[in-house]
């Protein structure tokens, strides 16, 4: 018996969660920003050493570079979005420490280094995907980081007031940008989810769409071939469906299709695959089922549908049944044989099951 690995929920198995979505779309951006921060700080130290003098020894100012290298190495190996916040905050703390070490006690003063504090929170906005991380980042980069240098520097009252005003503008700008990016990403994520559901799930019946059915069917067929287990296919068609549409309207036809889809889902196993192939036609894949059992399943489905009332009578379906032969390794030939068996069932009076030779 083939393993139970094809539940109806498999129709949507490729639906990513938000964490996976963020990693795929923002992971490269976050890693690029972390690397940029490391390289920028390295250049910052080199240029600062070249153009001026600091009381802090060079080796101490280089220590954050080593720590940033370690953070970036971790970022390159971790592929989960939950690491973004921790890695970003670690980088931010190291950069703030490094900026202070390079700005403290410089012979040319601190005015040239203070604009760096303004740049860091704006550039780091795309990293933060949780409100908590964003708030911590703003506190670190706009309050805790610059505070020691502001207190220890020789800036006059007006210069300090001006710089604090600039930081407030940065906080507002960063907050607006963060809010916009965060909302845009989540809206895009939910939009892609809806589009993927439209592509995978038939809106009317809740079954797999034709395209999704064929993709999953090929996977199931390959597994059955590899495991050398039986595989059967049912091809179903609602009898006299055009008459329902013509005499009672398309709304009645839609209700009939919904009822048929519900009956199929109810009577099949959790790991059978069922899809709406087109119009009033359905296909069912039965892994691990031989010809006799497939015919019994088809009869069970036919009887279930026959209990459903249509506007003028009971609904009925005709079913073609086929079991995979050793040389059949694609789903199309199986469905073609099942379709021929379905045609014979209709020719013999409808509301019946026919097993393909």
Question: Left if phi > 0, otherwise alpha if psi is -120 to 50, otherwise beta: which for 208?
Answer: beta
280 is an active site residue: yes
Q: Beta strand 231-238 with 317-323: parallel, antiparallel or unpaired?
A: antiparallel
Distance CA 6, CA 63 (A): 53
Q: Which residues pair with 355 in a beta bridge?
A: 321
Question: 30 — phi, psi (to 5°)?
Answer: -60, -45
**91 neighbors 140 (Cβ within 8 angstroms):** no
Among the options 108, 280, 281, 354, which is catalytic?
A: 280
| Helix or strand holding residue 322 (H, E) | strand 317-323
Alpha carbon 216 to chain centroid, angstroms:
18
| Helices within the chain (DSSP H only) | 18-51, 58-77, 82-103, 114-123, 131-139, 146-152, 157-200, 210-227, 241-248, 250-267, 291-306, 331-347
DSSP string, 208-220: BPHHHHHHHHHHH
- The dihedral through the CA atoms of 141, 142, 148, 153 has a sign that is positive
DSSP string, 70-128: HHHHHHHH---THHHHHHHHHHHHHHHHHHHHHHTT-TT-STTTHHHHHHHHHHTGGG-
Distance CA 315, CA 255 (A): 11
Distance CA 203, CA 324 (A): 30
Q: Which residues are catalytic?
A: 280
């Amino acid at each position: 018996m083939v393993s139970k690995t094809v539940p109806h929920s498999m129709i949507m198995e490729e639906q990513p969660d938000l964490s996976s979505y963020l990693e795929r779309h923002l992971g490269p951006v976050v890693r690029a920003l972390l690397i940029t921060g490391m390289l920028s700080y390295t250049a910052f130290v080199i240029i600062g050493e070249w153009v001026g003098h600091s009381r802090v020894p060079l080796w101490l100012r280089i220590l954050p570079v080593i720590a940033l290298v370690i953070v970036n190495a971790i970022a390159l190996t971790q592929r989960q979005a939950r690491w973004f916040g921790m890695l970003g905050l670690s980088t931010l703390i190291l950069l703030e420490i490094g900026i202070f070490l390079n700005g403290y006690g410089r012979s040319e003063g601190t005015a040239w280094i203070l604009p760096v504090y303004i740049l860091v929170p704006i550039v780091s906005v795309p990293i933060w995907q949780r409100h908590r991380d964003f708030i911590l980042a703003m506190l670190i980069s706009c309050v805790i980081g610059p505070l020691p240098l502001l207190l220890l520097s020789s800036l006059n009252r007006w210069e300090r007031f001006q710089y604090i005003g600039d930081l407030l503008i940065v906080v507002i700008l960063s907050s607006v940008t963060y809010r916009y990016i965060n909302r845009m990403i989540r809206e895009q994520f939910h939009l892609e989810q809806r589009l993927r559901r439209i592509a995978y799930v038939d809106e009317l019946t809740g079954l797999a769409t034709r395209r999704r059915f064929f993709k999953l069917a090929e996977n199931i067929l390959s597994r059955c071939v590899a495991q050398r287990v039986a595989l059967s296919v049912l091809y179903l068609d609602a009898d006299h469906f055009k008459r329902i549409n013509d005499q009672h309207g398309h709304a009645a036809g839609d209700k009939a299709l919904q009822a048929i889809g519900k009956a199929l889902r109810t009577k099949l196993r959790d790991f059978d695959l069922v899809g709406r192939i087109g119009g009033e036609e359905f296909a069912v894949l039965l892994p691990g089922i031989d010809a006799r059992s497939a015919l019994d399943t088809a009869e069970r489905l036919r009887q279930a549908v026959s209990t459903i009332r249509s506007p003028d009578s009971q609904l009925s379906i005709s079913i073609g049944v086929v079991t995979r032969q050793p040389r059949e390794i694609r789903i199309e030939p199986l469905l073609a044989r099942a379709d021929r068996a379905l045609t014979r069932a209709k020719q013999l009076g409808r509301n019946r099951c026919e097993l393909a030779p």
